[in-house]
Structure 1
Amino acid sequence: MGLGDWLGLAGIAIAIVQIAHVGRTVSQVREAVLTASAQASIYNVLTVAPRMSGIEHQLDLAARHNDVETFSLLLRSYKDLAAELDGLLHQEKKHSEDAQLKLQKSLVQVTAAKIPMSVKRSDDLYARTRLVRRSISEASIATVQLTARLRSDLVPVEVLPKRRLLDRVFNRRGEHADGI
């Protein structure tokens, strides 16, 4: 074998090493994107979830005051919010099973609730909506518990080291890629 053959083999070996390095880098970037996506989903849950308790309280007040119109509007708001939260919880599997089941149960109850909008007042609205309000209350409590668990798992942003993007991608400080 001549010098050209050896140089060719060395070039192929270097190319293989570079391809392996690029493969590891792509894998690290993919993991970073998945982690960031999961954290974004958790932060979305943490911003949406507290509104559940407020709507639950307002629904209870509307039912106590026999205000059918306000109750119906709040029920629609709750349904939209609960559906959004249920969608966000598909990303978060660690703690969300109980909250997700109760949200889905309350969505079924809300959808089944037949409250005529033509009647402005109802003397028995509080009694007629007992089951749907109980289901909403259970979902709200489970959501509050979920947000507490999610908050306890979060690492404060100030604790994470400030690293430049290229340092994180190419792992220049010698840290494991999971430390991003």
Structure 2
Amino acid sequence: MKKQQIHKTIQTIVYGGLIAAIYVALTILFEPISFGPIQFRIAELLCILPFFTPAAIPGLFVGCLLGNLLGGVIIYDVIFGSLATLIGAAGSYLLRKHRFAVCIPPILANTLIIPFVLRYAYQLPDTLPYLFATVGIGEILAIGVLGNLLLLALSKNPAISRVLRGNFA
């Protein structure tokens, strides 16, 4: 393996690990509002990071997985919640050429998957339309509003944008 490939691999692992750690920290720090039928998971604002780097995809997945495990959710929530984040992050990366569209895949993935987890895995008596609305509103606020504000702030700083993209020169 060439030195440049090794450097890129290490960089991807480090970036993914940092993103995962920040996701976990935000999830646990704001634990009272990160879980449940009415949730506002602030860590979801990080779902815009695939705009800058593909390392965000595994980072967000691992961060959600660990955040859910540490948050004490049941295994179905760990699995399907983490998969929803993975799907959303991959979709965001695919839409990276359209800056303000990167928030759409994670909003849709979580809004369409998490209500089923809440309803059937937790046996919540709430109806699916109610859960779609509460999860969807939380995702729109976390990713659509906070995430896009973060995206705008990071994009306006050329030094930060270069570092996030792995260009240290």
TM-score, structure 2 normalization: 0.30
Q: Rg larger in 1 or in 2?
A: 1
